[in-house]
């Protein structure tokens, strides 16, 4: 049963985008990802791996549960549908993270599991290319987005695995990881999500500076990095900053409206202390934005505040802000771990985009955060000298 559980777990994490295959069982709306997680949980329980005492060692999971309970007790619910959606996202993300960490306990097993997830991301990227080339859900500017609602969603999904494969290649220098890194990078560039591209570039550059500083003695490496920096900076300026200077309809203009409205919502002491409630940002933004701006906004329907610190304040209040700040501090302290660099990506890109509470991204965020800030007991029989996950 343990082998069946492991195979099912690998299938589930490989098919993380299976939530796009939606249907109803009687009157209950569900999707293939949820059913795969339920099936994996069933075999996990049957395998005897579940131990109640082990729940307590996964602090990130416990904190998310406690923050959610406190939020439900202290905030008013404007949209029950959005609340239920967020609760489902969180429940399945917590369940799959717990199963992953308890099933795959060694560094090697977890790296294998993350690699399977990464291969699933690349497979979905290839499917997205074909999907768009066939004329389905094609963006007006031909950005790669596949069947998703926005290219940034695909970029947020690909970036953690691009970082993972890049770090693996820098450490092992094998053709396998070089090919995977180049493939993931090409797909990320095709999304034209400059937030994701810029944040990924910064994280990989920081990894090079911290773990492979000797490479900077090479003139060729310096020229390559300088060229990449100019290309990324130029792309950000051309696609984000220049449209903001020339028009009033750019994505940065819209973010300016979102942040101004978010700041106004924060002036309410209750919102600052308790938040607006789990998944309630859109309803509160809709009610507030026009009065804050004094005119019609670019968009009334905004799912998230486009800033990770606002996101946790609005979902969980002051306790949520403290949690993400402590998590950020611990992440920076543990930058000898691949998972910490991946969370650093979430924090950097999260300054301008936060599609975190989704079926797929929330699983990645909670899983990598738990691995990034946890304090595993050292194994006296084996000491890993390479960088742990």
Q: How far is CA 320 from CA 60, 250, 273, 275, 368, in A?
A: 12, 30, 9, 9, 18
Q: What is the pLDDT of residue 235?
A: 87
Q: How many C-alpha atoms does 71 have within 13 Å on its Cβ side?
A: 28
Q: What is the pLDDT of residue 377?
A: 55
Q: What is the pLDDT of residue 92?
A: 98
Nearest one of 83, 69, 124 to 280, comparing CA atoms? 83
Q: What is the pLDDT of residue 383?
A: 46
Q: What is the pLDDT of residue 153?
A: 97
- Rounded Cα distance between 9 and 14, Å, is 8
- Give the model confidence (pLDDT) of 173-194 as tens digits: 999 999 999 999 999 999 999 9
Nearest one of 363, 365, 366, 372 to 331, comparing CA atoms? 372
pTM: 0.94
Q: What is the pLDDT of residue 381?
A: 44
Q: Is 233 exposed, middle or buried (0-12, 13-18, 19+ CB in 10 A)?
A: middle
Q: What is the pLDDT of residue 376?
A: 63
Residue spans of the chain under pLDDT 70:
376-387
Please give the span between the terminal C-alpha atoms of the chain, in angstroms, as a whole number: 26
Residue 18 and residue 36 in contact, taking contact as beta carbons nearer than 8 Å = yes
The neighbouring-strand residues paired with 31 are 22
């Amino acid at each position: 049963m343990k082998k069946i559980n492991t195979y099912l777990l690998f299938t589930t994490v490989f098919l993380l985008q299976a939530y796009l295959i939606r249907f109803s069982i009687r009157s209950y709306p569900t999707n293939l990802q949820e059913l795969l997680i339920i099936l994996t949980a069933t075999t996990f329980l049957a395998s005897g791996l579940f131990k109640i005492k082990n729940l307590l060692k996964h602090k990130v999971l416990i904190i998310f549960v406690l923050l959610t309970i406190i939020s439900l007790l202290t905030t008013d619910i404007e949209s029950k549908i959005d609340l239920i959606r967020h609760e489902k996202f969180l429940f399945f993300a917590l369940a799959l993270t717990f199963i992953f960490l308890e099933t795959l306990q060694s560094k090697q097993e977890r790296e294998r599991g993350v690699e399977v997830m990464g291969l699933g991301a690349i497979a979905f990227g290839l499917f997205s290319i074909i999907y768009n080339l066939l004329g389905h859900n094609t963006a007006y500017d031909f950005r790669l987005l596949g069947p998703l609602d926005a290219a940034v969603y695909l970029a947020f999904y690909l970036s953690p695995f691009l970082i993972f494969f890049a770090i693996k290649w820098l450490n092992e220098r094998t053709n396998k990881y070089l090919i995977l890194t180049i493939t993931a990078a090409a797909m990320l560039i095709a999304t034209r999500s400059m937030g994701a591209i810029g944040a990924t570039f910064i994280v990989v550059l920081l990894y090079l500076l911290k773990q492979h500083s000797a490479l900077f003695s090479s003139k060729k490496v310096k020229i390559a990095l300088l060229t990449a920096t100019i290309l990324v900076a130029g792309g950000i300026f051309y696609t984000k900053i220049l449209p903001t200077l020339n028009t009033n309809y750019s994505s940065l203009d819209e973010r300016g409206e979102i942040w101004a409205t978010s700041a106004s919502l924060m002036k309410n002491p209750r919102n600052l202390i308790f938040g607006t409630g789990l998944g309630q940002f859109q309803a509160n933004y809709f009610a507030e934005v026009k009065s804050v701006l004094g005119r019609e906004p670019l968009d009334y329907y905004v799912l998230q505040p486009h800033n990770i610190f606002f996101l946790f304040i609005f979902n969980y209040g002051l306790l949520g802000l403290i949690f993400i700040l402590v998590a950020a501090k611990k992440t920076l302290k543990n930058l000898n771990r691949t998972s910490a660099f991946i969370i650093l990506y979430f924090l950097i890109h999260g300054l301008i985009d936060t599609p975190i509470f989704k079926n797929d991204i929330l699983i990645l965020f909670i899983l990598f955060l738990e691995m990034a800030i946890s304090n595993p007991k050292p194994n006296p029989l084996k000491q890993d000298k390479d960088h742990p996950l």
